[in-house]
């Protein structure tokens, strides 16, 4: 393949990942939404469940009437630049707005990338840390972006140290794709930078297909877990990627085997130009129902919907209570309590 990250439709066409006939439409897509596919993901490009996540499509030019530039309402809950405070005890810190790869379904696709929102300045970082310090109910800070793991160890250590100086912040969590899409970045210095927080540090890995958990990705995750950093797994339900029981089962088993706890299965957000990748909620519920009973409880995430407009996440999985009856994993109903 290549040792370089591919960033243009022309480069994708040269490797045969898109047809030359598609280039005019894909150039229009790339002018609006950033493109980047790392060497690690290019190695997996023959797997449709991987390539569909990263290779741009002309379908992205079709924007539905219900699709929104800020589908989960970040801006409505942003008291200072770079901070989202939607829930009382935790905030998001959007440390940067670039990623190692750009997902074709990203709910922040209008904000990330080389032409997206500018990075936080030193003054903006100071204001963000000041906001956290001034609000003692903030127990957890979730560092996101963009992808914070493309920052240097020095910058990550600075973030960890600044937050460690705020006594009421007990938990620091990072959301990233890097251990899977650019595992070479997870070095000993990198892990040491995260540990500068000196309290509870968690890393949530976003992965959508079992193929993403390559031996190199598993080694990167092991470096984090062996250093005492627990890991969680986050997944987006995507049409043509993981919308079958077999695909989800393989992914969640691979996560647990890599020592990641599957945390959330996200229903895909109403981001512009992403309808070709979204399922219906009923489909997601059917998938979760199918996994119940055949897949260990430790491998079961919570299926959630982030309500448009900034109203928060809620579980939308199947219900097993029906009046005075409860449904077992096989679909049979039983009176409860028994008569």
Does 74 participate in catalysis according to the annotation? Answer: no
269 is catalytic: yes
- Check if 86 is active-site: yes
Identify the active-site residue in 87, 155, 259, 292: 87
Known active-site residue 106: yes
- Rounded-to-10 torsion of CA 8, 10, 13, 14: -110
Are 175 and 234 spatial neighbours (Cβ–Cβ below 8 Å)?
yes
- Catalytic residue, candidates 70, 103, 131, 162: 103
Concerning whether 173 is annotated as a catalytic residue, the answer is no
Choosing from 33, 52, 70, 86, the catalytic residue is 86
Q: Say whether 108 is catalytic.
A: yes
Q: Which of 108, 109, 173, 218 is catalytic?
A: 108
Catalytic pick from 104, 106, 263, 289? 106
Beta strand pairing call for 200-206 and 231-237: parallel
- Active-site residue, selected from the candidate residues 33, 70, 99, 264: 99
Active site annotation includes 221:
no
Taking the C-alpha atoms of residue 29 and residue 9, their distance in angstroms, rounded to an integer, is: 9
Residue of 28, 195, 253, 313 marked active site: 313
SS (H, E, C) the chain: CCCCCECCHHHHHHCCCCCHHHHHHHHHHHHHCCCCECHHHHCCCCCHHHHHHHCCCHHHHCCCCCCCCCCCCCHHHCCCCCEEEEECCEEEEECCCCCCCCCCCCCCCCCCCCCCCCCCCHHHHHHHHHHHHCCCCCCEEEEECCCHHHCCHHHHHHHHHHHHCCCCCCEEEEEECHHHHCHHHCCHHHHHHHHHHCCEEEEEEECCCHHHCCHHHHHHHHHHHHCCCCEEEEEEECCCCCCCHHHHHHHHHHHHHCCEEEEEEEECCCCCCCHHHCCCHHHHHHHHHHHECCECHHHCCEEEEEECCCCEEEECCCCCEECCEEECCCCCEEECCCC
**End-to-end CA separation in angstroms for the chain:** 65
Spot the catalytic one: 202, 269, 278, 303: 269
218 belongs to the catalytic site: no
Which residues are part of the catalytic machinery?
86-87, 90, 99, 103, 106, 108, 269, 306, 313
């Amino acid at each position: 393949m290549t040792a370089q990250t591919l960033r243009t439709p022309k480069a994708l066409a040269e490797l045969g990942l898109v047809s030359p006939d598609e280039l005019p439409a894909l150039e229009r897509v790339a002018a609006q939404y950033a493109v980047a596919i790392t060497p690690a993901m290019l190695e997996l490009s023959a797997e449709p469940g991987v390539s569909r996540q990263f290779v741009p499509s002309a379908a992205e030019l079709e924007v539905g009437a219900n699709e929104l530039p800020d589908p989960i309402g970040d801006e409505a809950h942003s008291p200072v630049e770079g901070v989202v405070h939607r829930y009382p005890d935790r905030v998001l810190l959007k440390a940067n707005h670039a990623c190692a790869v750009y997902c074709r379904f990203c709910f922040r696709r209008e904000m990330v990338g080389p032409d997206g929102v500018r990075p936080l300045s030193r003054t903006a970082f100071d204001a963000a840390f000041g906001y956290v310090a001034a609000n003692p109910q903030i127990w957890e800070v979730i560092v996101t972006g963009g992808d914070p793991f493309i920052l240097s160890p020095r910058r990550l250590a600075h973030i960890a140290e600044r937050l460690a100086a705020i006594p009421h912040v007990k938990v620091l969590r990072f959301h990233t794709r890097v251990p899977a899409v650019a595992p070479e970045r997870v070095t000993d210095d990198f892990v040491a930078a995260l540990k500068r927080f000196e309290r509870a540090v968690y890393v949530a890995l976003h992965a959508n297909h079992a193929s993403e958990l390559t031996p190199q990705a598993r080694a990167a995750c092991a470096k984090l877990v062996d250093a005492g950093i627990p890991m969680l797994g986050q997944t987006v339900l995507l049409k043509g990627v993981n919308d079958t029981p077999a695909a989800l089962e393989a992914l969640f088993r691979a996560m647990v085997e890599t020592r990641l706890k599957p945390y959330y299965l996200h229903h895909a957000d109403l981001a512009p130009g992403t309808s070709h990748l979204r399922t219906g909620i009923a489909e997601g519920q059917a998938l979760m129902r199918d996994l119940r009973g055949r897949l260990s409880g430790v491998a079961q995430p919570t299926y959630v919907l982030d309500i448009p407009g900034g109203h928060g996440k809620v579980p939308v999985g199947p219900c097993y209570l029906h009046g005075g009856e409860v449904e077992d994993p096989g679909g049979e109903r039983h009176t409860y309590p028994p008569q």
